[in-house]
Amino acid sequence: MLEEVDNDIRFAKAALSEKDFQRLSNFVQNEVGIKMPPAKKTMLEARLQRRLRTLQMRSFTDYCNFVFSPAGFESEIVHLIDAITTNKTDFFREPQHFEYLVNKALPELIRTHNVGTRRKLMLWSAGCSTGEEPYTLAMVLSEFQEKSGLDFMIIATDISTKVLDKAKAAIYEEERVIPVPNNMKKKYLLRSKDKSKALVRIIPELRELIKFRRLNFMDSDFGFREPMDIIFCRNVVIYFDKKTQETLLNAFSRYLVKGGYLFMGHSETLNGLNVPFVQVAPTIYRLPYGR
């Protein structure tokens, strides 16, 4: 036991050198697109300490050598990405987006594209994290469906397998679902039988409406065979540099129907980017016809 404690102390004191930080940050930006400026060195060091302890490595140099070896590249990249990605999300985050979706975007797409009748509405939650966004969308669309008969499918993707596992499980602490309206809590949430755990789970009927899968925005082909009508990609591109943002947003435009909608985060803007979208509301964009 004492030896384990001593090992933990040695691993916890491991320092990330400038050389090793550059190796890791260059890889993360090239492989995942996420900017890793010098200001994030302390954050990266702290987040990877657990991986060093798990792998029983005493230095970040050992860790880098492992990551960039054939065996390490195969097994460790997923853990590295899980460690460095930020996964801040909430149910009904930026509620004005859902109001616009119901009052403007969906009626317009039904009118112009016959979605929900001749074919399913296709919606993509890009960077879905632990699932709060796609489950919010499933609740909102299910409510809309009761009035309109709208048929829909939600695709939810993220690069982190850890958050995708949590999203698929659909189990959340009660405090996480506080933003969910009471009428939706009653319809779409199941409380744990063990009251001491204070947990809820999304009902099976709602979980079945969402297809989760891993996707790296740096991939040349996202694998979608049907065009999307709506893309939610909120508070994701802020972590990319301008060139990567343009590449990604232009890729989005190729997967979006003409007249389709793109919802961005409150801290993101397309100003100054060479992309084909036009703004229709704050942080809401549309792909014009005829492009």
Six-digit token string for 169: 């499980």
Catalytic residue among 47, 53, 176, 201: 47
The Cα–Cα gap between 179 and 95 comes to 10
pLDDT digits (tens, 9 = 90+) for 97-152: 999 999 999 999 999 888 767 789 999 999 999 999 999 999 999 999 998 889 99
Catalytic residue among 23, 158, 207, 286: 158
For the chain, the domains span 2-84, 95-170+204-286
Let me know how many helices (H) and strands (E) the chain has, helices first. Answer: 12, 10
Closest Cα partner for 177 from 195, 155, 202? 202
pLDDT higher than threshold 90 for residue 241:
no
What average pLDDT is seen over the chain? 87
CB 212 within 8 A of CB 156: yes
Dihedral angle sign, alpha carbons of residues 160, 162, 165, 166: negative
Three-class DSSP category at 257: strand
Residue range 95-170+204-286 in CATH 3.40.50.720: no
Residue type, 66: F
At 44 the pLDDT is 86
Q: Cβ distance 116 to 148 under 8 Å? A: yes
186-226 pLDDT, tens digit per residue, is 999 998 877 778 899 999 999 999 999 999 888 888 989 88
Alpha helix segments (H runs only) across the chain: 2-12, 18-32, 41-55, 60-67, 70-84, 95-100, 106-113, 132-148, 161-169, 182-188, 204-207, 242-255
Q: Which CATH number among 3.30.200.20, 1.10.155.10, 1.10.645.10, 3.90.79.10 corresponds to the domain 2-84?
A: 1.10.155.10
- 158 catalytic, yes or no? yes
Give the tens place of pLDDT for each residue, 61-102. 999 889 888 877 777 877 887 777 766 688 999 999 999 999
47 noted as active-site residue = yes
